[in-house]
Structure 1
Amino acid sequence: MRRLRIALSTLFAAALLFVAPQAAHAATWSSSDQWATWTNGGYTLYNNIWGSGAGAQTIWANSYSNWGVWANHPNTSGVKSYPNASKSVNVALSSLKTATSSFNVTVPSSGAYTTAYDIWANGTTYEIMLWMNKTGAVGPLGTLQTTATVGGHTWSVYSGSNGSNAVYSFVRTSNTSSGTVDILAIMKWIQSKGWYSNVTLSTIQFGYEITSSSGGLDFVTNSYSATTS
């Protein structure tokens, strides 16, 4: 009987290891530091736990294209973090021929978060957010301007400010966990509205804007890339 108990305990411990957070399986890099960064393939990954009242979060990566986080943020309001993969571009809109991105993610069915692009123009003067999917009590800044089909998707478009910069939020009218986005088409659409002129596309970021993930949730980027020319 004692031997059986030892064997069962061993099996239970093995089972716990098997269901451990995805971060434990990172082959290349992982960190729980608030501002942890890792550079790979021309991209920089950021853990970026920036909001007040945040809990624990671990970022892991096998490459810029395959990465994720395990996050345990309390069920309170306010964004806690935006772990992301960032690529610097720094090319004027008039000089860009292409700016596209593709992604495939696995995200939880609970919590409060959005899978989002954060695109910056003229440094940090203009912020363009593309919400590809959202769950829970989250919403964009500003007021609803229109519904538009542009860049390969249909969006509810909001305009507002966070007090430091203008924010244009494109909230997809239905959730998706994979797809391709024509970023250049969206930026030119904004320009056609007169919301800015010939700006410089400074940075493309893609990640998870997490408000709550109580108990610990996994956010996995199965594949991702951003291409400009």
Structure 2
Amino acid sequence: MKNCTNPVFTTTSTNNQGEGRTFGSYYVHNNMWNNDNGTYTLGACNYDNWYEVAKQPDGTAVRAYPNVHKDYDDVPLSRIQSARFAANTPRCAGCIYNVAFDIWINNNFDNELMIWTENWNQRPAGTQVGTTTIGGKEYQVWKSGGVNSPGGIFTYVSVTPQLSGTMPLQLFFRDLEARKWIPANSTTWQVDYGVEICDTNNTEQRFNFTDFAITES
């Protein structure tokens, strides 16, 4: 397995202005959008080989989402088929985080689809509305906010941790359409994969991301 030991880009920040680096059509982002006294160091060897070293005091709110993503300009969801992924996480005592895909849908980030591949002591937004099986994997299904309107967050939490594989994104889009949570002609603005960090028990913890690539039709 790849492990980024000689990064071509590094950045350390303690504020909400986390930097990033473009690698071809992908962007690796030290996204500290809600930091509270945490320190975040991102090192990237490539878009599919990077790490985050985080030290975050106690808390349950999401403080940062370091990620790799690809931007789109209102591209039909039907174009996005799947994505390879792989991550190695610390699973530390007292830590709270989730490793997840984060996909922004319709009209400049109206709705948010999250697919949690690993959950470590975190609770999704909203209410659990059931379970479903997609691509042979079982997921809890959570919903927060509007359906077919701005502000809706739809979260699929893998019951069994998925540390690597190929995520069948198109099947999730079809499930959202079948539930009538998004229109059949929906579009996407961004596809992300990274870790939502709430708490590292005020200790330095390293998260390694060692594969990522989006397949389009």
Common fold, TM-score beyond 0.5? Answer: yes
- Structure 1 residue 174 and structure 2 residue 157: aligned? no
Contact 2:60–2:96 (Cα < 8 Å) also in 1:
no
Aligned equivalent of 1:205, options 171, 175, 192: 192
Contact 2:42–2:50 (Cα < 8 Å) also in 1:
yes
Range that drifts further, 208-217 or 30-39 = 30-39
> CA separation in 2, counterparts of 1:219 and 1:40?
19
1:117 aligned partner: 101
2:12 aligned partner: 32
CA positional deviation for 1:151: 3.8
- What are structure 1's unaligned runs of at least 5 residues? 1-21
- Structure 1 residue 134 and structure 2 residue 134: aligned? no
Q: Which amino acid aligns with 2:207?
A: F
Which one has the largest radius of gyration? 1
Aligned equivalent of 2:33, options 50, 74, 89: 50
> CA separation in 2, counterparts of 1:112 and 1:208?
10
Q: Which amino acid aligns with 1:32?
A: T
> How does the TM-score come out when normalised to structure 2?
0.88
Contact 1:54–1:80 (Cα < 8 Å) also in 2:
no
The two structures, once aligned, show a CA RMSD in angstroms of 1.9
> CA separation in 2, counterparts of 1:91 and 1:77?
34
- What are structure 2's unaligned runs of at least 5 residues? none
> CA separation in 2, counterparts of 1:160 and 1:114?
17
Q: Which amino acid aligns with 1:153?
A: K
CA positional deviation for 1:152: 4.3
Map 1:126-165 to 2 at 5 A: 126-136=111-121, 138-161=122-145, 165=151
> How does the TM-score come out when normalised to structure 1?
0.83
Aligned equivalent of 2:86, options 104, 107, 126: 104
Task: Select the structure that is richer in helix.
Answer: 1
Contact 2:8–2:45 (Cα < 8 Å) also in 1:
yes
Contact 2:126–2:142 (Cα < 8 Å) also in 1:
yes
Change (3 A) 1:121 1:151: farther
The sequence identity of aligned pairs, in percent, is 27
1:186 aligned partner: 172
1:68 aligned partner: 51
Q: Which amino acid aligns with 1:30?
A: T
Instruction: Provide runs of 4+ in structure 1 moved above 4 Å.
Output: none
